[in-house]
A and B are shown apart, each in its own frame.
Chain A
Amino acid sequence: MFVIAYGAAYFGLAIFVVAVIARVLMWSRLPMHVRWELYPVAHEGERARHGGSYMEESEWWTKPRHVSKVAEAKAMFSEIVFLAAVKEHNPKLWTRTFPFHFGLYLVITCTALMVVGGALTALAPDTVSGPLGEILGNAVMIFGYAGAVTVIIGALGLLQRRLSDPGLRDYTAPADLFNLAFFVVAFGCAIVTAALVDPDFAITRGFVANLVTGRLDTFGAAGLEAMLPPLTFVMLSLLLAYIPLTHMSHFVGKYFAYHAIRWNDTPNLRGGPEEKKIQAVLSQPITWAAPHIKGDGKKTWVDAATEEQKK
């Protein structure tokens, strides 16, 4: 069973990484689009408090532009960690989606700690044989239990709301329910495993450490100890592979939604780098068929935009 679990873990991780890279490439390779920003734009710094832009300055193109990356990071932190927009505009849903997302962050932290622990065990075993190892072990347990429980609570709450709220029910596809149920089952499996055979996460930590070092040992000779942990690892690995293949990959898209669209207010100054990109997109052919356009695949955007309109 553990062999399958190791295979599933590497497979899940590989799919996750490849799918995320593919999503990043897809979003970043899309052509330039027209400016479609939405205020407040966080990097405006102080001005963002009232939603202002550099266009509040007279002859703004003659003045240096200040882009506050710190302000962007603050806004993103509040949005990613606390789901600020949902809290403000949809508090009932927030009580369910916040634990779900925050639970995932706790699980990610738990996993990261196990990876660190595994790496230290392999590279500098003395460092984790003492108090540091104990702290790491306790932290893994706290983050692991808390994360799995809050994910389950959040997912169940979201399932309940999707099934009972008329405003959500009609917009919910079977896959949406499956996705949430998948989280409940995978993390439920993890909780059962921890409760029955791995209360101090020793097996799980060992498994992750082995993944890091490539020493694919098994744990437990028989019975539940040999069955439940690998089953959990397989479930969680499949979940890891599944997430970026669905609309849950919004954790990638969200970066572009903010930085490439909502906050993309980069002005196109004469002779600047934007002009070349604009000339390239405007030289593309169009095939829009309406009588006032008559795009034939040869006519370009420039042609269409500059042709005289006769009465």
Chain B
Amino acid sequence: MRHPSSIKDMARGDEPLAKIRPEDQIPLPPPFDTADADPAIRPLADKVAEKMVCLDDTVVVNIPTPTSKEEEERLVNGFLSGLRKLFTPENNWTFLQPLLMSMEHCARCQTCNESCHIFEESGRNELYRPTYRSEVLRRIYYKYVKNASTWIHGDIDLNWKTVARLIELAYRCNLCRRCAQSCPIGADNGLLAREIRKIASQEMGIFTKELHGDGSMLQLQVGSSTGMNARVLRDNLEFIDEDTSELTGIPTETPIDREGADILLLHNAGEIMAWPENIGSFSTIFNAAGLNWTLSSELAAYDGINYGVFYDDVQFARTAILHLQAAKKLGVKKIVLGECGHAHKALTVIADRVATGDLNIPRESCMTVLRDIVKSGKIKFDKSRNDFPVVLHDPCNLVRLMGIVMPQREILKEIVPEHRFREMTMHGVNNFCCGGGSGFAIMSGHNFSDWRHHLLGRRKFRQVLEAFQDEPMNQDHPKYVCAPCSNCKGQLRDIISYYDAWEKAGIYYGGLVELIVNAMADVKPGYIQWEWH
């Protein structure tokens, strides 16, 4: 294993600081405990390694290696300028208090270390220790912004390598905040990773193309990070309604732009493109329950994603305001968030400090709405239709960061036979991230998808395999990972595909609403198709 020997290594040398080999990692449970089933991370292409700043086995941010002294200075000065602004109340009222808390009071006791799935699954590589990047940031701040003594705060050199590597390292964290949960003092390494991303984005204009150009900007300009405009949205919904009607045997119509509806349902548009059955399931359930609801075709308002939550406060606020304005225009009584964890947290919790006056429209999780429907008796369920092993994945944003833990479990109790349901070891607010958190589920440039599966998503895959170890591990015995979050589903889809886990172990994934519809007595049996996609 290659790993940094010191925090000061961030400023030194030209080689990548870390390399993960298969023997560094804890083997996966059967049937993926062999070298064939668990391949090594593909190396980065030489031309990429030559042109880009390389921190470790992969590249996400794509910062070109500076070719002149001026470019080097621009990186350093831009970072310092952003760092200074980060500590001003005007520029960073949004996070100043949590930021200061984490900067000033971390005792560097490493109590948080074992909470980090990336550090643990890397074989405890120093580079991925959750405190490593925080300590680099802290030392830069105290030495170069506060001019404080290195005797008190520790020393580090600041050059373009330190800056470029630190920005890249900020994209080796899922921002799941599991480490913060274990901190006795309240320091938050996830927050610090996000603050570094903010300096890069808000001051230096450095971001990943997936989150910015192809993400939040596309959503603000076209309407959705998928690139789907309002006309395509309507076409897609028509197709989805047709397919859903055929599958369920119940005529399905997804209302759109219905003024005066009680509820604006905000889906992640990724569902429309990749998991249309999720959209169709919501429509089937809401219509069967007799809700007065609608989708919106307003700019950005048919896509609940808000990638700003991962890297940029201004982009976050822009997107949140468009969501709220669409709800205001329709005159709805509340916004209900579909199965998307970060959309939940973004609009319900974080935007709670952005919304005022007539934009301050109540927001609610679909989990509580669905729980009320399922328990209301308005729809008849036949649990035996879900007679297969089911394990629930807890999306971090929904659970650890919002405290919505029980509604989804209450629903599963009503629609899945009791002996078929199991929890993962470490679930609820103590869950592990799927590995796709903080935008990684949509990133796969160069060899990043390999890195994502080997480090970010490995703990979740391990949890899933462990949860099903009492079942025959083959395709003849399908098993369902219930992941009520688009981002998590994207990550699960990719990791299941990477390891051929459907073919080799019969592991399948999907949302919660699909399970609900599958158990509806009035729906044609066999709603879940068990077709790999």
Contacts and interface: CB of A to CB of B under 8 A. Distances in A.
Nearest to A297: B90
A267 B99 CA distance: 21
For chain A, give the interface size range: 35 or more
A33 B364 contact: no
Contacts of B89: 30-31, 284
Interface stretch (A124-132, A222-230, A302-310): A302-310
Contacts of B428: 50-51
A254 B355 CA distance: 29
Given A37-B401, A59-B364, A250 B185 contact: yes
A287 B88 CA distance: 10
A263 B125 CA distance: 32
Nearest to A59: B364
A79 B182 CA distance: 11
B353 A34 contact: yes
B190 to A, nearest CB: 10
Contacts of B321: 305-306
A217 interface: no
A45 to B, nearest CB: 12
A172 B93 contact: no
Contacts of B399: 39, 51
A279 B360 CA distance: 12
Contact of A253 (B101, B314, B400): B101
B371 to A, nearest CB: 7
Contacts of A289: 78, 81-82, 203
Interface string A79-110: 10001111011100100010000000000000
Given A31-B93, A36-B95, A256-B101, A55 B402 contact: yes
Given A36-B191, A56-B403, A290 B205 contact: yes
Contacts of A88: 182
Interface stretch (A115-123, A134-142, A163-171): A163-171
Nearest to B394: A51
Contacts of B188: 36
B233 interface: no
A254 B364 CA distance: 31
Contacts of A38: 177, 180-181, 400-401
Interface in A49-84: 50-61, 79, 83-84
Interface string A198-238: 00000000000000000000000000000000000000000
A51 B177 CA distance: 15
A188 interface: no
Contacts, number: 260
B95 A34 contact: yes
Interface stretch (B149-157, B166-174, B290-298): B149-157
B334 interface: yes
Contacts of B317: 301, 304-305
Contact of A260 (B85, B97, B177): B97
B348 interface: yes
B353 A35 contact: yes
Nearest to B344: A55
Contacts of B205: 290-292
Contacts of A60: 364, 368
A39 B403 contact: yes
Given A281-B93, A288-B85, A293-B202, A247 B404 contact: no
B354 A85 contact: no
Nearest to A175: B152
Looking at B109, B180, B321, B352, the one whose CB has the most chain A CB atoms below 10 A away is B109
Given A90-B110, A171-B7, A37 B349 contact: yes
Given A40-B429, A173-B153, A288-B314, A93 B186 contact: no
Interface in B342-382: 348-350, 352-357, 360, 362, 364-365, 367-369, 371-372
Nearest to A44: B403
Contact of B184 (A85, A174, A269): A85
Contacts of A281: 93, 353
B186 A258 contact: yes
B7 to A, nearest CB: 6
Nearest to B353: A34
A304 B217 CA distance: 14
B318 interface: yes
Contacts of B107: 247, 250
A93 B314 contact: no
A278 interface: yes
A105 to B, nearest CB: 15
A242 to B, nearest CB: 12
A27 B97 contact: yes
A268 interface: yes
A309 B153 CA distance: 42
Given A56-B406, A167-B113, A268-B353, A173 B154 contact: yes
A275 interface: yes
A30 B184 CA distance: 22
Contacts of A254: 105, 185-186
A239 interface: no
Contacts of A97: 109
B185 to A, nearest CB: 5
A292 B97 contact: no
B185 A253 contact: yes
B129 A167 contact: yes
Given A34-B94, A170-B7, A250 B402 contact: no
A269 B106 CA distance: 33
A304 B314 contact: yes
B315 interface: yes
A292 to B, nearest CB: 7
A157 interface: no
Looking at B185, B350, B404, the one whose CB has the most chain A CB atoms below 10 A away is B185
Given A36-B188, A52-B404, 9 more contacts: A34-B352, A35-B350, A89-B114, A261-B101, A269-B360, A288-B203, A292-B212, A305-B321, A306-B318
23 contacts: A33-B94, A37-B403, A44-B403, A51-B428, A52-B404, A53-B404, A79-B184, A89-B111, A89-B112, A90-B109, A168-B110, A175-B149, A257-B101, A261-B101, A262-B186, A278-B355, A288-B202, A293-B314, A304-B317, A305-B321, A309-B220, A309-B221, A311-B222
Interface of B: 6-7, 78, 81-82, 85, 89-91, 93-98, 100-101, 104-115, 129, 131, 135, 149-154, 177, 180-188, 191, 201-205, 212, 217, 220-222, 314-315, 317-318, 321, 334, 348-350, 352-357, 360, 362, 364-365, 367-369, 371-372, 399-407, 428-430
Which 4 residue pairs spanning A and B have beta carbons closest together? A257-B186, A53-B403, A51-B429, A305-B317
Interface of A: 27, 30-41, 44, 47, 50-61, 79, 83-86, 88-90, 93, 97, 167-168, 170-176, 246-247, 249-250, 253-254, 256-258, 260-262, 265, 267-270, 274-275, 278-279, 281-282, 284-293, 295, 301, 304-307, 309-311
